[in-house]
C-alpha cells in the first residue's frame, strides 16, 4: 500500500488545508486546484499492455525495451494481474545469451530487467496480431486464463507500449505479419465503444512510429512515438559481452526518466514529451494529444505508469445495518406448488447399447463365381483334352 | 527326385510355421522390406472389412489389390498362413518341374550343336553334363523355399508370394510348351502387377524356338505365331479384367490397382528407388520423372531381346531381375524369385568376376536394412538418407550381379563357339572384353 499512504496523507493535508485555507483565499485557491485536479483524473484502476513484436536474437533490444517499461510500471505499482506482457521471443533463455536468465538494459550489465518475478503472459508464437487485437477488444475465447485478459472497465487508464520493427503505417509481428495503423485505430474505437478504457496512453518505439498514431479517432487517447514518418528509430548502445544492442534510444531515455519517478511524483506529461530530444535520440519523437480531453500539463505520469489508488481516509466509523442477520429467505408461495423436476430420457440409451450393428457379410456375386469357374474349367479342358472329362463323370 | 523335394518342402513348411508361431512374426510383418504399400496383406483385411460395411474396398487408401485377390481371400482369410505356405510350396514345385524340363531342353540342344560341330574342339570342360545338371531342379526349389527373403515375405503375409506363384506357373507353362496356358498365366501375372508384361517377349521367343520357327522379320510363320500368342494373351487379359468388373460391378479397381502402380502416390520407404526421389521432388516435375522411371523398367526388353534371342530362358531370368529392381514397390519376395534361378546358371561360376564382393554387398545390405531403419525411425539419430543409401547399395549390388551373370553367359557362349584359348591373328593370347 505504498501508493496509498502518500495519497492518504496528501488528501488529509489537502482537506485540513482546505478547511484552514478559507481565511487564506489565495493559498486555498491553489490548493483547491490541486485537490480538484486530484479528483479530476477519473480513473480507478490502471492497466498496462506491453508488447514486443520481434523475434530472433539480434532483436534483443526490443525485448529489453519492453521489459524495462514493465519494470518501471511494476515498480510504480501496477500489479502483474493488471499487466499483459507479450514477448515474441525468449532472450533470457536464448542459447546465444552468454548470461542466461538475464536481460540487460544498460551496458556493462548494470541493470537486469529480467529479475525473478517477470510474468510473461503471451510468449513466443502466441504474440500475433490476432491475439493482440483480441486482448485489446476483449473478444477472447472463454478458455483464456485470466492472466491473458485485459479486464479493464470504463474507469481504467491503460498504458499500451509497443516496440519492434515498423514502417509507414504498419508494425511487423514475428517476421510474418503486420498490424496497420488503421486496424489499431479501429481496435481502440472498439474499446471505446465497449467502454473498456477511461484514458489511453499509447507509446510506440519503432521506425516511423508516428505513422501508427495518425489514424486514431477515438476520444481520450494520447500517443507518443519515437520517430516521425520517414525517420528511423535508432538503437542505443551495444554491449560487447552480449554482442547485441541492448536498448533503443528512445526507450532508454524514457527508462532513465521513469527511474526518477516515484509513486508520489507530480511530474506531468509535458516532461515526458521533452524526453529524448533530437540531440540524444537522432530521431524526432512525436506526440499526439488532440484526442485527449485533459491538458497534458495536468496529466500525471503516474496516471498511466503507476497504479495510484485514490484512498480517502476518514475518521468516522461506519456501522453496518444490524438487521441483516434477521433477514429470512421466504420462497414465494407459487414456487412450492410445482412438480419436482426429474431427468427426462432424451436418447434411448438402453436401446442403443444393446443394439449391435447387423453384420452384413459381403458375398461375391453369383455371376462372378459362375464366370470364374467356367473359365477355369475351360482352361483345364483345353489344356488336358476333353477325354479327361470321363474321369469327372 | 521326389523324395528329396518332399523333404525340402517339409523343412520349409516347418521353418515358416515355426516363425509364424514365434514372436518374430509381428516384427517381420512390419518390416518395410518384406511388405510395403503395394503388397500388404493387412490391406486385404481392410478391404474385406470395407466390403462388409457395404463400401467399395478401393475407397480407402491402402487397398490396392485386384478383385481376384479379394475373391481368394474372402474365403481363405482365416487360413491366411496356410495359404501363403501353400503358395510358396506351389511356386517351388512349379519351378522344380520347369527347371527339370528346361534341363532336358538344354541338354538336347547341346547335343544337337555338338553333333553339328558348332562348338570349338577344346571346350570340353564347358559342356554341361547330366551329372552336374541332375541336382539343379532340387537346388532351385531349395533356393526358393529356404531363402531368407522368401521366408520373410511369407511370414509378412505379403501378396508378393501369390504373384511369384503365378509367375512360376507361367514359366512352367512356357517351358512345357503350352502357349495357351502360358498366355493365361502371363495375363494373370500382368493383371496382378503390371510389370510381367515385359516377360511376353522371352516367352514368345521360347515358344517360337520350341516350334522351330526361325525369328526372321520377314517370315510369315513368325508373325502368325506371334499374332496367335499375342491375341491369346490379350484376350485372356481382357476376359480377366471384365470378370473382375463383375465382382464389384465397378471399374474403380483400375485406377486403384494400375494407377497406383504407375503413378506411385505412396512414398513409404521400401527397398526400391522410387520413394526417395519422389519424396524430394517438386510437384511440377513429378509426372516427367514418373514417366522416366516407369519407362526404365520396360526399356531394357528391346536390347535384351535382340541380344539374347537364342537364349530366351536366360532372357526371362534377366527380365525378372530387372522387374524386381526397377519396379515401383519392390519387396524382397521379388528378389527371391529371380535368385531361385541362380543354380540354373551355376556352370557360369568360373566366369563370374565379382561374385564375392556382390554377395557380401547383398548380405551386408540385408542386415543393415533393419538396423538403419531402427536408427532412423526409432532412435532418431539417422535420417532417410542413410536408409536410402542402403537401398541404393542393395540395388546396385543386384544390378551388378545381373550384369555379371549376363557377361559370364555371353562369355561362355563366345568361348563355346570360338574355343577356350583365344588367339589373335599373330598367335598371341587374346583376352575377351565386353564392349
Write down the pLDDT at residue B44. 84
Shortest distance, CA A233 to any CA of chain B (angstroms):
42
The Cβ of residue A74 has, within 10 Å, a number of other Cβ atoms equal to: 21
| A129-143, A370-384, B23-37, B145-159: the lowest-pLDDT one | B23-37
Stronger pLDDT, A390 or B41, i.e. the higher one: B41
Q: How open is the CA angle B269-B272-B278, to the nearest 5 degrees?
A: 65
DSSP E strands in A234-351: the ranges are 286-288
Q: What is the mean pLDDT of residues B393-417?
A: 91
Write down the pLDDT at residue A14. 59
Count up the domains in chain B and report the number: 1
Chain A interface includes B56 (CB < 8 A): no
Write down the pLDDT at residue B45. 84
Write down the pLDDT at residue B403. 93
Domain boundaries, chain A: 45-305
Write down the pLDDT at residue B323. 93
Write down the pLDDT at residue A6. 53
Shortest distance, CA A387 to any CA of chain B (angstroms):
18
Helix, strand, coil fractions of chain A, as percent rounded to 5: 40, 15, 45
A266 neighbors A297 (Cβ within 8 angstroms): no
Chain B interface includes A393 (CB < 8 A): no
pLDDT digits (tens, 9 = 90+) for B235-262: 999 999 999 888 888 888 898 889 988 9
Q: How open is the CA angle B387-B393-B394, to the nearest 5 degrees?
A: 90
Pick the catalytic residue: A52, A207, A276, A281? Answer: A207
- Which letter does DSSP use for residue B377 in this model? I
Chain B residues touching A360 at Cβ < 8 A: 52, 54
d(CA A281, CA A41): 31
Active site residue A165: yes
Chain B residues touching A363 at Cβ < 8 A: 74
Write down the pLDDT at residue A150. 92
Stronger pLDDT, A332 or A381, i.e. the higher one: A381
Q: pLDDT confidence of A392, banded at 50, 70, 90?
A: low
Q: What is the mean pLDDT of residues B224-242?
A: 93
In a domain, B362, yes or no: yes
Task: Write the residue in A364, A371, A383 that is nearest to B178 by C-beta.
Answer: A383
Chain A residues touching B249 at Cβ < 8 A: 365
In a domain, B199, yes or no: yes
CATH number of A45-305: 3.40.50.1460
Asked if residue A160 has pLDDT above 70, the reply is: yes
Active site residue A287: no
The Cβ of residue B4 has, within 10 Å, a number of other Cβ atoms equal to: 13
Chain B interface includes A372 (CB < 8 A): yes
pLDDT digits (tens, 9 = 90+) for B365-380: 999 998 998 888 888 8
Write down the pLDDT at residue A332. 52
Chain B residues touching A369 at Cβ < 8 A: 71
Chain A interface includes B75 (CB < 8 A): no
Among chain A residues, CA nearest to B48: A362
Among chain B residues, CA nearest to A360: B52
Q: What is the mean pLDDT of residues B213-228?
A: 85
The rounded mean pLDDT for chain A is 82
d(CA A152, CA A190): 13
Chain B interface includes A332 (CB < 8 A): no
Asked if residue B417 has pLDDT above 90, the reply is: no
Write down the pLDDT at residue A1. 43
In a domain, B221, yes or no: yes
* Residues linked to residue A159 through DSSP beta bridges, in sequence order: A48, A201
In a domain, B97, yes or no: yes
CB contact under 8 A, B52 and A359: yes
d(CA A119, CA A78): 13
User: The sheet that has A156-163: what strands, in order across it?
Assistant: A122-123, A83-87, A45-52, A156-163, A199-205, A221-225, A286-288
Among chain B residues, CA nearest to A383: B181
Among chain A residues, CA nearest to B232: A379
In a domain, B424, yes or no: no
pLDDT digits (tens, 9 = 90+) for A238-267: 888 888 898 999 998 998 899 888 888 888
Q: pLDDT confidence of A354, banded at 50, 70, 90?
A: low
DSSP B235-254: HHHHHHHHHHHHHHTSSTHH
d(CA A80, CA A48): 9
- Nearest Cα to B170, choosing from B313, B65, B305? B313
Chain A residues touching B246 at Cβ < 8 A: 365, 367-368, 371
pLDDT digits (tens, 9 = 90+) for A94-134: 888 888 888 988 877 788 888 888 999 999 899 999 999 99
Write down the pLDDT at residue A4. 47
Asked if residue A221 has pLDDT above 50, the reply is: yes
Among chain A residues, CA nearest to B240: A372
Rounding to the nearest 10 degrees, give the CA dihedral for residues A252, A257, A258, A261: 170
Q: What is the mean pLDDT of residues B54-62?
A: 82
Q: How open is the CA angle B397-B400-B401, to the nearest 5 degrees?
A: 85
In a domain, B434, yes or no: no
For residue B176, what are the domain limits? 1-418
Helix, strand, coil fractions of chain B, as percent rounded to 5: 75, 0, 25
**Which of B184, B240, B241 is most worth mutating to test chain A (most A CB atoms within 10 A of its CB)?**
B184
d(CA A278, CA A285): 8
Query: b vs e for A87-125, b when ≥16 Cβ sit within 10 Å of the residue's Cβ?
Result: bbbebbebeebeeeebbbbbbeeebbbbeeebebbbeee
Stronger pLDDT, A22 or B6, i.e. the higher one: B6
Task: Write the residue in B54, B243, B247 that is nearest to A360 by C-beta.
Answer: B54
Task: Write the residue in B70, B178, B239 that is nearest to A375 by C-beta.
Answer: B239
- Which letter does DSSP use for residue A323 in this model? G
Write down the pLDDT at residue A265. 84
Write down the pLDDT at residue A352. 64
Burial of A351 (0-12, 13-18, 19+ CB in 10 A): exposed
Most confident among A159-163, A257-261, B270-274 (mean pLDDT): A159-163
| A271-275, A359-363, B293-297, B331-335: the lowest-pLDDT one | A359-363
Shortest distance, CA B213 to any CA of chain A (angstroms):
22
A154 neighbors A195 (Cβ within 8 angstroms): yes
Chain B interface includes A343 (CB < 8 A): no
Q: What is the mean pLDDT of residues A334-350?
A: 64
**DSSP-derived 3-state class of residue B347:** helix
Asked if residue B200 has pLDDT above 90, the reply is: yes
| A172-186, A246-260, B54-68, B292-306: the lowest-pLDDT one | B54-68
CB contact under 8 A, B247 and A364: yes
Write down the pLDDT at residue B218. 80
pLDDT digits (tens, 9 = 90+) for B103-161: 999 998 888 888 887 777 777 777 888 888 888 999 999 999 999 999 888 888 888 89
Q: What is the mean pLDDT of residues B38-54?
A: 78
Write down the pLDDT at residue A10. 63
pLDDT digits (tens, 9 = 90+) for A288-340: 999 988 888 888 898 899 887 767 778 888 788 776 555 555 555 555 556 67
CB contact under 8 A, B74 and A359: no
Among chain B residues, CA nearest to A359: B52
Chain A residues touching B184 at Cβ < 8 A: 379
Write down the pLDDT at residue B271. 87
Amino acid at each position: 500500500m505504498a501508493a496509498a499512504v502518500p495519497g492518504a496523507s496528501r488528501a488529509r493535508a489537502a482537506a485540513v488545508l482546505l478547511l484552514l485555507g478559507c481565511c487564506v483565499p489565495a493559498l486555498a485557491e491553489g490548493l483547491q486546484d490541486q485537490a480538484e485536479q486530484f479528483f479530476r483524473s477519473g480513473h480507478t484502476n490502471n492497466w498496462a499492455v506491453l508488447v514486443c513484436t520481434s523475434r530472433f536474437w539480434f532483436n534483443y533490444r526490443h525485448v529489453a525495451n519492453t521489459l524495462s517499461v514493465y519494470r518501471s510500471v511494476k515498480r510504480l505499482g501496477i500489479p502483474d494481474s493488471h499487466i499483459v506482457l507479450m514477448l515474441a521471443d525468449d532472450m533470457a533463455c536464448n542459447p546465444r545469451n552468454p548470461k542466461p536468465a538475464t536481460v540487460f538494459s544498460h551496458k556493462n550489465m548494470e541493470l537486469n530487467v529480467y529479475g525473478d518475478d517477470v510474468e510473461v503472459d503471451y510468449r513466443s508464437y502466441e504474440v500475433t496480431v490476432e491475439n493482440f487485437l483480441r486482448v485489446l477488444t476483449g473478444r477472447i475465447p472463454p478458455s483464456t486464463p485470466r492472466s491473458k485478459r485485459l479486464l479493464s472497465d470504463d474507469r481504467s487508464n491503460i498504458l499500451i507500449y509497443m516496440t519492434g520493427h515498423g514502417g509507414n503505417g504498419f508494425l511487423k509481428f514475428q517476421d510474418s505479419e503486420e498490424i496497420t495503423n488503421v486496424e489499431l485505430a479501429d481496435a481502440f474505437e472498439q474499446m471505446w465503444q465497449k467502454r473498456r478504457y477511461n484514458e489511453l496512453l499509447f507509446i510506440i518505439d519503432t521506425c516511423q512510429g508516428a505513422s501508427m498514431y495518425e489514424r486514431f479517432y477515438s476520444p481520450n487517447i494520447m500517443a507518443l512515438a519515437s520517430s516521425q514518418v520517414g525517420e528511423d528509430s535508432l538503437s542505443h548502445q551495444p554491449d560487447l559481452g552480449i554482442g547485441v544492442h541492448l536498448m533503443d534510444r528512445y526507450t532508454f531515455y524514457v527508462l532513465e526518466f521513469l527511474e526518477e519517478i516515484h509513486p508520489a511524483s507530480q511530474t506531468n506529461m509535458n516532461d515526458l514529451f521533452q524526453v529524448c530530444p533530437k540531440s540524444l535520440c537522432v530521431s524526432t519523437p512525436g506526440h499526439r494529444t488532440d484526442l485527449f480531453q485533459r491538458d497534458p500539463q495536468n496529466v500525471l505520469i503516474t496516471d498511466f505508469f503507476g497504479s495510484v489508488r485514490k484512498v480517502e481516509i476518514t475518521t468516522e466509523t461506519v456501522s453496518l445495518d444490524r438487521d441483516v442477520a434477521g433477514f429470512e429467505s421466504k420462497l414465494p408461495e407459487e414456487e412450492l406448488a410445482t412438480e419436482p423436476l426429474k431427468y427426462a430420457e432424451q436418447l434411448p440409451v438402453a436401446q442403443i447399447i444393446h443394439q449391435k450393428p447387423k453384420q452384413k457379410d459381403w458375398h461375391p456375386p453369383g455371376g462372378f463365381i459362375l464366370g470364374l469357374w467356367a473359365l477355369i474349367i475351360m482352361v483345364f479342358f483345353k489344356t488336358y483334352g476333353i477325354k479327361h472329362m470321363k474321369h469327372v463323370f | 527326385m521326389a523324395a528329396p523335394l518332399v523333404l525340402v518342402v517339409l523343412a520349409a513348411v516347418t521353418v515358416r510355421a515355426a516363425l509364424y508361431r514365434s514372436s518374430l512374426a509381428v516384427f517381420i510383418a512390419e518390416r518395410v522390406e518384406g511388405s510395403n504399400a503395394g503388397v500388404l496383406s493387412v490391406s486385404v483385411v481392410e478391404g474385406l472389412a470395407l466390403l462388409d460395411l457395404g463400401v467399395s474396398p478401393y475407397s480407402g487408401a491402402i487397398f490396392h489389390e485386384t478383385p481376384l485377390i479379394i475373391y481368394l481371400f474372402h474365403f481363405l482369410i482365416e487360413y491366411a498362413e496356410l495359404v501363403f505356405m501353400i503358395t510358396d510350396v506351389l511356386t517351388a514345385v512349379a519351378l522344380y518341374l520347369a527347371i527339370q524340363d528346361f534341363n532336358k531342353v538344354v541338354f538336347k540342344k547341346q547335343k544337337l550343336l555338338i553333333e553339328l560341330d558348332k562348338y570349338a574342339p577344346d571346350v570340353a570342360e564347358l559342356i554341361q553334363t547330366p551329372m552336374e545338371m541332375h541336382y539343379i531342379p532340387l537346388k532351385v526349389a531349395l533356393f526358393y523355399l529356404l531363402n531368407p527373403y522368401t521366408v520373410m515375405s511369407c511370414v509378412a503375409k505379403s501378396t508378393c508370394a501369390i504373384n511369384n506363384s503365378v509367375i512360376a506357373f507361367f514359366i512352367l507353362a512356357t517351358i512345357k510348351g503350352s502357349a495357351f496356358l502360358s498366355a493365361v498365366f502371363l495375363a494373370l501375372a500382368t493383371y496382378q502387377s503390371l510389370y510381367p508384361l515385359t516377360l511376353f517377349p522371352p516367352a514368345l521367343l521360347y515358344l517360337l524356338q520350341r516350334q522351330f520357327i526361325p525369328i526372321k522379320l520377314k517370315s510369315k510363320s513368325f508373325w502368325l505365331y506371334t499374332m496367335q500368342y499375342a491375341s491369346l494373351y490379350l484376350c485372356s487379359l481382357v476376359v480377366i479384367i471384365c470378370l473382375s468388373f463383375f465382382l464389384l460391378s465397378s471399374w474403380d479397381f483400375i485406377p486403384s490397382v494400375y494407377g497406383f502402380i504407375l503413378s506411385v502416390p505412396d512414398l513409404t520407404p521400401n527397398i526400391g528407388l522410387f520413394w526417395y526421389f519422389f519424396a524430394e521432388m517438386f510437384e511440377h516435375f513429378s509426372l516427367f520423372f514418373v514417366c522416366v522411371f516407369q519407362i526404365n523398367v520396360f526399356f531394357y526388353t528391346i536390347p535384351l531381346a535382340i541380344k539374347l534371342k537364342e537364349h530366351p530362358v536366360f532372357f526371362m531370368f534377366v527380365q525378372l531381375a530387372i522387374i524386381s529392381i526397377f519396379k515401383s514397390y519392390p519387396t524382397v519376395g521379388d528378389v527371391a524369385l529371380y535368385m531361385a534361378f541362380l543354380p540354373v546358371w551355376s556352370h557360369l561360376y568360373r566366369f563370374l568376376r565379382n561374385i564375392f564382393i556382390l554377395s557380401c554387398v547383398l548380405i551386408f545390405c540385408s542386415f543393415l536394412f533393419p538396423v538403419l531403419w531402427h536408427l532412423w525411425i526409432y532412435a532418431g539419430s539417422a535420417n532417410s538418407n542413410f536408409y536410402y543409401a542402403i537401398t541404393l547399395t542393395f540395388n546396385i549390388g543386384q544390378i551388378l550381379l545381373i550384369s555379371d551373370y549376363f557377361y559370364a553367359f555371353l562369355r561362355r557362349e563366345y568361348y563355346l563357339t570360338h574355343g577356350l584359348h583365344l588367339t589373335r591373328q599373330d598367335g598371341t593370347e587374346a583376352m575377351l572384353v565386353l564392349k
